[in-house]
Amino acid sequence: MVNVSTDLNILDPKDNVATVRRTLKGGASVAVDDGCVGLSQTVPGGHKIALTPVATGGELVKYGQVIGYAKTNIAPGEWVHIHNVELKEVDRDYGFCEKNAELPAREGDQDFFSGFARPGGRAGTRNYIGVISSVNCSASVARYVADRFRSSDFNGDLADVDGVVAFTHKGGCSYDPNHGHELLQRVIAGMARHPNIGGYVLVGLGCEVNQVPGLVEKYHLDRLREGEQAPAFLTIQQTGGVRKTVESAVKAVEKMLPGVNAQRRTAQPVSKLTLAMNCGGSDANSGISANPALGVASDELVRQGAASVFGETTEIYGAEHLLTRRAVTREIGEKLVSHIRWWEEHTAMFGSTIDNNPSPGNKDGGLTTIFEKSLGAVAKAGQAPLSAVYDYAEPIEAKGLCFMDTPGNDPVSMTGLVSGGCNVGVFTTGRGSVYGCKPSPCIKVATNTPMYNWMEEDMDINAGTILDGTETVAEVGRRIYDKILAVASGEKTKSELAGMGDEEFAPWMLGPTL
């Protein structure tokens, strides 16, 4: 007899499927309530079994919500996965604002972290100089400039500079200005004004659609606030070619270095943090361990006046009704739904569907449908009311729990969140994503202990202790919150120690290439 407390996760009394915590062999018996269920076949760890008979077309319920429908009759103890589960159209009751309830008040004084005071009342958690390309044609120049400073002694005379980083991409020209142009410009302007950027150089080619002068004028990048370093704006064609542009940009960075290095960390209230939350390489444990624990940390930040932002619109599909009910206003809830509708239309243009998900790795980890994946993903939103919904890379100005419309692709999603102003990130993973994200540090949270132990050099926190029964969701949530403050104060994440983050800048390239 297998003990239910160590081998099954039943998440809601209404559930008719349960997740096995470890691989169980066919023929084993699993205790459920007052009886037991016999396994008809071997079930991999993290996958689901049926607890009750489910007839063909019947609902399969996890988290107390429908995650799919039975393709065939499913017996108790039978493995439930892509071979016997399908999706159907579901009418969801959005119940706008029905569960909009403030979080319980926090006890105790305001917490602080050690950060860099920035103009406009913001605070940085890192102190980089950015070399930003306006177009792919200037990407190599930006990279050459950053490479000149890789050997600089940022631990000695320049100890308060985290580095010089190139932000390059594949866009900026040969595309319809009515589609991706606005998105790319928001990303570039957001990165230029990011609180973790102490100074920057913007480099263009000169003949591209995304003109540097137009970008500067539109976003007032030449209007300095008190304490800001003067940026440099260069184009290769006007400067006289690659070599001359590299040398000019290097001189501009050298001129900035003393002023950027003069910045010092000081005590900053937690309310100046803007957290980016993302899932990557999810498994069935994501919605049971790491994401709920991150939700606890997110709620604590919200209680202290911070902003906590998540995205991946294609990965809340089927669970968006849980968020609309928490919207502060009906308008906010309807904006979220409008993004869902846009994605339905957008994917249909290419003969695809918004539910063409999970990925192969997700499925190997036990996730069967996008509904199941989404229900686990929204767990990282905690219990706070939904305060705002933003377009991709739009500046984040609200406090509290916020949502940003981004694709599910991890680098593209995080680029939007960071460009919106997020100065620290938490990234949950069940399969083992090694994502890093300059200029904002990214904390990796593993959903299960075996993966954490196997990839400990890349994982910052093990939330698998929840599944192991050695910690509660609340206890791991507190550890995540404490780690956020430590990292915001300068502690290096595993991805930073590994040197990750230079290649992950990936603006959303929306629209046709002409």
Domain spans of the chain, in order of start: 4-86, 128-262, 267-497
End-to-end CA distance of the chain: 64
Query: Three-state SS for 266?
Result: strand
Displacement of CA 154 from its chain's centroid (Å): 28
Q: What does residue 32 show for φ and ψ, rounded to 5 degrees?
A: -135, 120
Nearest to 426 by CA among 374, 373, 494: 494
Six-digit token string for 493: 């994440």
- In this predicted structure, what is the pLDDT of residue 3? 42
Q: In what order do the strands lie in the sheet with 17-20?
A: 8-9, 17-20, 48-50, 79-80
- In this predicted structure, what is the pLDDT of residue 2? 38
d(CA 82, CA 103): 38
d(CA 482, CA 489): 11
Q: What does residue 308 show for φ and ψ, rounded to 5 degrees?
A: -130, 120
d(CA 50, CA 78): 6
- CATH number for domain 128-262, candidates 3.40.1000, 1.20.120, 3.40.50, 3.40.1350: 3.40.50
d(CA 160, CA 180): 36
Does residue 447 contact residue 453 with C-beta atoms inside 8 Å?
A: no
Does residue 496 contact residue 440 with C-beta atoms inside 8 Å?
A: no
Residue type, 300: E
Those residues whose C-beta lies under 8 Å from the C-beta of residue 180, and which sit 6 or more positions away, are 171, 508, 509, 510, 511
CATH number of 4-86: 2.30.130.110
- In this predicted structure, what is the pLDDT of residue 361? 76
- In this predicted structure, what is the pLDDT of residue 106? 84
Whole-structure pTM value? 0.94
- In this predicted structure, what is the pLDDT of residue 150? 86
- In this predicted structure, what is the pLDDT of residue 222? 92
d(CA 60, CA 199): 53
* Rounded (to 5) percent helix, strand, coil in the chain: 30, 20, 45
Count of CA atoms in the C-beta half-sphere (13 A) of 407: 15
Q: In what order do the strands lie in the sheet with 123-124?
A: 123-124, 112-117, 265-269
User: Going residue by residue through the chain (514 aa), what tens digit of pLDDT does each one get?
Assistant: 334 446 788 899 999 999 998 898 998 888 887 778 889 899 998 899 999 999 999 999 999 999 999 999 999 999 999 999 998 877 789 999 999 999 998 888 899 999 999 999 999 999 999 999 999 999 999 999 999 998 766 777 888 999 999 999 999 998 877 778 999 999 999 999 999 999 999 999 999 999 999 999 999 999 988 888 999 999 999 999 999 999 999 999 999 999 999 999 999 999 999 999 999 988 889 999 999 999 999 999 999 999 999 999 999 999 999 999 999 999 999 999 999 999 999 999 888 887 766 677 788 888 888 898 999 999 999 999 999 999 999 999 999 999 999 999 999 999 999 999 999 999 999 999 999 999 999 999 999 999 999 999 999 999 999 999 999 999 999 999 999 999 999 999 999 999 999 999 999 998 888 8
d(CA 460, CA 447): 11
